[in-house]
């Protein structure tokens, strides 16, 4: 007997990487081995030396194929075993290990938008829907577009064993959110990439495209973000650590270092309108959805908990945002 393993990896497409996958048939009980692929077709190699290596790093049940089938998330390596330049997970591994004793947790809110053809799902042909208002967490056919896809995606994330913690309809028609976490940096990011793959794969069955574009509709429509909620053990136990983390994110070059790696098109989304802070002006505040970093109200009341970095775009690389937050905040908390 045999089973199907879907090898999934992140490619080298600029400026935002795409997900790729291919299937391998394995003997029952066999661990998914290291595999290879044609890197010249994914912007990860030149044609004359095109072999690149897929190293399995996280596996879970494949909720689409069922049975013994697996999804196999891989890191991409050069043939000598060095991480490929596109492999951002490798740099996260080092930082996560360096600060492991601080026990970082993340909850990432992944916003995304369904498109049918060139229009967001729910946008009428040649016109615009009623302005934002009834869509966020709405109900009814006049407000909600794509729920059957969203429900199937949620069921598949759960069946795969991912740390999904919720879903909601967003403020623009056809725009939705799911959350992964709380979980450690590598786990939250691995689960996020698999959840993204399941989202594209599920929407594909409906002839719909899911996009992480940060500003999918021009005009008075919200962009799509990936608010990243973050805590360390010290932050979960006391308020001084919460403030230390918020201050560390504002120090010196830190705001630019973060924002420049928080996803493509950050200026188009972080305008200062639509529940955002301007991309070039760092701020933090309690309950403030117009700040770069929000301290949730109950965290201020309880004097412990977590912070929400509201800046990352929907198209951010979760390996990068978790690395930056651990690196900046844990270094400051160590002092």
**Burial class for 64, CB neighbours closer than 10 Å (0-12, 13-18, 19+):** middle
Query: Considering the rule CB under 6 A, would residue 231 count as an interface residue with ligand ADP?
Result: yes
Write the CB contacts of 201 (distance below 8 Å, at least 6 apart in sequence): 64
Instruction: Give the integer Cα–Cα distance in Å for 292 and 309.
Output: 6
Query: Considering the rule CB under 6 A, would residue 99 count as an interface residue with ligand ADP?
Result: no
Instruction: Give the integer Cα–Cα distance in Å for 40 and 303.
Output: 52
Q: How far is the CB of 65 from ligand ADP (least distance, A)?
A: 27
Give the one entry of ligand ADP, Mn ion, none that residue 276 binds, where binding means its C-beta sits below a cut-off of 5 to 8 angstroms depending on kind.
Answer: none
Pick between residue 6 and residue 109 the one whose CB is nearest to Mn ion. 109
Query: Considering the rule CB under 6 A, would residue 109 count as an interface residue with ligand ADP?
Result: yes
Residues written for the chain? 335
Structure tokens, 265: 């098109």
Task: State the number of binding residues for ligand ADP (CB under 6 A).
Answer: 17
Q: How far is the CB of 114 from ligand ADP (least distance, A)?
A: 19
Task: Give me the residue label for tokens 């990068």.
Answer: 320
Give the one entry of ligand ADP, Mn ion, none that residue 213 binds, where binding means its C-beta sits below a cut-off of 5 to 8 angstroms depending on kind.
Answer: none
Query: Considering the rule CB under 6 A, would residue 244 count as an interface residue with ligand ADP?
Result: no
Question: What is the per-residue binding string for ligand ADP in 181-200, x denoting contact by CB under 6 A?
Answer: xx------------------
Query: Considering the rule CB under 6 A, would residue 236 count as an interface residue with ligand ADP?
Result: yes
Where b means 16+ CB within 10 Å and e means fewer, 198-230 reads bbbbbbeeeebebbbbbbbbeeebbbbbbbbbb
**Residues found near Mn ion in the complex (CB under 5 A):** 109, 177, 227
**Residues found near ligand ADP in the complex (CB under 6 A):** 105-107, 109, 165-166, 179, 181-182, 227, 229-231, 236, 305-306, 308
């Amino acid at each position: 007997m045999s089973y199907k393993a879907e090898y999934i990896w992140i490619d080298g497409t600029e400026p935002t990487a795409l997900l790729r996958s291919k299937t391998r048939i394995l003997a029952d009980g066999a661990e998914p081995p290291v595999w290879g692929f044609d890197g010249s077709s994914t912007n990860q190699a030149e044609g004359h030396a095109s072999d690149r290596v897929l190293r399995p790093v996280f596996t879970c049940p494949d909720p689409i194929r069922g049975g013994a089938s697996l999804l196999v998330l891989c890191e991409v390596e050069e043939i000598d075993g060095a991480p490929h330049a596109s492999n951002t997970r490798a740099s996260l591994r080092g930082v996560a290990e360096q600060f492991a004793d601080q026990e970082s947790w993340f909850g990432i809110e992944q916003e995304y938008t369904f498109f049918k053809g060139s229009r967001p799902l729910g946008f009428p042909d040649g016109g615009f829907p009623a302005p934002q208002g009834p869509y966020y967490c709405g109900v009814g056919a006049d407000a909600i577009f794509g729920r059957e896809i969203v429900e199937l995606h949620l069921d598949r994330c759960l069946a795969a064993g991912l740390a999904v913690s919720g879903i909601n309809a967003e403020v623009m028609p056809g725009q939705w959110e799911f959350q992964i976490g709380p979980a450690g940096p590598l786990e939250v990011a691995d689960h996020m990439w698999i959840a993204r793959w399941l989202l594209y794969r599920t929407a594909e069955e409906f002839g719909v495209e899911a996009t992480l574009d940060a500003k999918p509709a021009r005009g008075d429509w919200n962009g799509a973000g990936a608010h990243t909620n973050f805590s360390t053990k010290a932050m979960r136990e006391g308020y001084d650590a919460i403030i230390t983390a918020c201050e560390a994110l504002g120090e010196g070059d830190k705001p630019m270092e973060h924002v420049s790696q928080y996803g493509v098109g950050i200026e188009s989304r972080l305008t200062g309108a639509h529940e955002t802070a301007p991309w070039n002006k760092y701020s933090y505040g309690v309950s403030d959805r117009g700040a770069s970093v929000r301290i949730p109200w109950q965290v201020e009341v309880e004097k412990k908990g977590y912070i929400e970095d509201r800046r990352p775009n929907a198209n951010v690389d979760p390996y990068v945002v978790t690395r930056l937050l651990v690196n900046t905040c844990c270094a400051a908390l160590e002092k």
